[in-house]
Chain A
């Protein structure tokens, strides 16, 4: 597991630098998760994974964020706050759906107050499978997101800055 992790983290650090030339900022939103996904996102900051050292920050405001990490099936009560958070982010922005609920609704599919995953509400770029995904899987997902970010920057320039 350790060699696995060091390999993963080395790659993540390089890619963040290459794509952004700086750190990657993540905003996490719980849209009806059971809190296990949150536990794993928090685990990313413990001394074993410590993603801050790789240039990945979990930020407090969507205004600072490049990546929106969404957990949970998107329930009725969190739908509007989630969309507001997304709209508050600067472009180009990437959305990652984390965990089975966020991908398809999971066990909560068919509930009277849940969507079937984030894709029903927001355009999702990356899916991170697992219930909950292991920290290594989240790191892998963040790398996929960085690749998407690169592709997006090639195609769509931020409006109003460059011709």
Chain B
């Protein structure tokens, strides 16, 4: 998107908003609009309706010491050519409130609840102001992401009550599930209201794995931040550390060597491969077709072994560093990967044929857990979940990072929005990933794999988007002295969790695990 296009957006603004705009500027990357907070809902609504802008993040930074106020950042992305619009609004600390935009852009719902919890700022007019991240027994006057928050003072537990939505009527009862689940999965609470087998309503309560990642990051030097980023969500840790590195490198205006970009592409796809393999295996397992599932689990185990033999870590950990990568793939390793992938592709073909030839699998997955295109658009879901509901988005193609502009690949798209569509999208992405790795290893240029990190200027806001196996994730960093002043992380799961609440009702209780698995969302990435 050119600067002219972005300027055109400014010219097209409705006259009522214009007096509220304090300042704006456009460069090749993005359009930044500083606006009075009162006009924020109108501006956001206009950008959403007129330009189909999609919400990436809404978050606050405590800049009371620097600017004398909190600053609310609203990051929106435009479709197709993917220009970015950032709206800023000052929030005076004295009143401590901002107008909610949830009625204009529904996807802002959880973002605003999160801001309320962590900053103690009120989203006025928010339809559902219950706590989200901090647990019910958190005291009302402690806000961890404020700069004057003192972590050494013990935080008492105060008695409280979290009001779940109640469905009433004859024969309706509730099934509470979690936070400790029957299987080995992460903690979260699901409250089903059912009438016999069919689910009438599902409410999801998360926040059980909240560890205070964003606050910890504010005290970690940039070089160490990559390790924390890897542990935001373990299985897409490589994507998180990549997004962190890219955001810091953008702030330092650092040029990463070509070879490192290709290596990052290869590692990203290796991560996607082993995770997609686990996802499709899990879906098949939940339809009770165990032999089929074990075929994919075996492949996944082999892929993790490949990860280890190439990088030293089954989870591709500690590979990224600021300015490049830590480990090269030499010629021998590259041959090994290629030989492995040829075999893996054949094995995966076998798996897919066996599973898709199984009527019981098709019967369980077709029309189960449908997420309609309309709902997917409203909730602004990302990743394979969006692509299975007919939304054609993929960061790798739309805003190429690493070496994605140098490789060619398809973005699989399905429109049914059911479990099977999500299964098929993931299966097709496996082939694309294999192809991307082969292409990248084929044309990888010689040269250094990292450069020395230059100094990072202070008070610069930079963000980076990465397509993890769950979808688009974002790291947004406002730089400080040696470490981030504010580090906002938004995992793909944060956008996709609310969609599960929409896809599940109408299905029977035994299908819930299947639908949940097909979304495969991270609790840790959501809760931070």
Contacts and interface: CB of A to CB of B under 8 A. Distances in A.
A113 interface: yes
B379 to A, nearest CB: 23
Interface in A6-45: 28-30, 32-43
Contact of B232 (A30, A34, A42, A75): A34
Interface in A66-98: 72-73, 75-78, 81, 85
Nearest to A27: B180
Given A29-B180, A36-B237, A75-B211, A111 B294 contact: no
A118 to B, nearest CB: 14
A108 B298 contact: no
Contact of B184 (A36, A41, A46, A108): A41
A62 to B, nearest CB: 8
A81 B187 contact: yes
A14 B219 CA distance: 48
Contacts of B300: 46
A106 B216 CA distance: 12
Interface of B is mostly: loop
A48 interface: yes
Contact of A35 (B180, B182, B219, B234): B234
Contacts of A122: none
Nearest to B522: A35
Contacts of B180: 29, 62, 81, 85
A160 interface: no
B179 to A, nearest CB: 5
A40 B227 CA distance: 19
B191 interface: no
A47 interface: yes
A28 B522 CA distance: 17
Interface residues of B, number: 44
B301 A60 contact: no
Interface in B236-292: 237, 278
A contact patch SS? mixed
B215 interface: yes
B341 interface: no
Contacts of A114: 211-212
A76 B278 CA distance: 30
Interface string A141-163: 00000000000000000000000
B333 interface: no
Contacts of B297: 46-47
B25 interface: no
B514 interface: no
Contact of A30 (B155, B186, B294): B186
Contacts of B304: 43
B301 A34 contact: no
A36 B211 contact: no
B20 interface: no
20 contacts: A30-B209, A34-B237, A35-B234, A35-B235, A35-B522, A37-B234, A40-B314, A41-B184, A46-B300, A47-B294, A72-B211, A75-B211, A78-B179, A85-B180, A107-B231, A110-B219, A111-B215, A112-B212, A131-B231, A132-B315
Interface of B: 134-135, 144, 149, 151, 155, 179-180, 182-187, 207-212, 215-216, 219, 227-228, 231-235, 237, 278, 294, 297-298, 300-301, 304, 314-315, 317, 522-524
The 4 closest A-B pairs by CB, nearest first: A36-B234, A60-B182, A34-B234, A111-B212
Given A47-B298, A107-B231, 7 more contacts: A35-B524, A43-B301, A46-B294, A75-B208, A77-B210, A85-B180, A131-B317
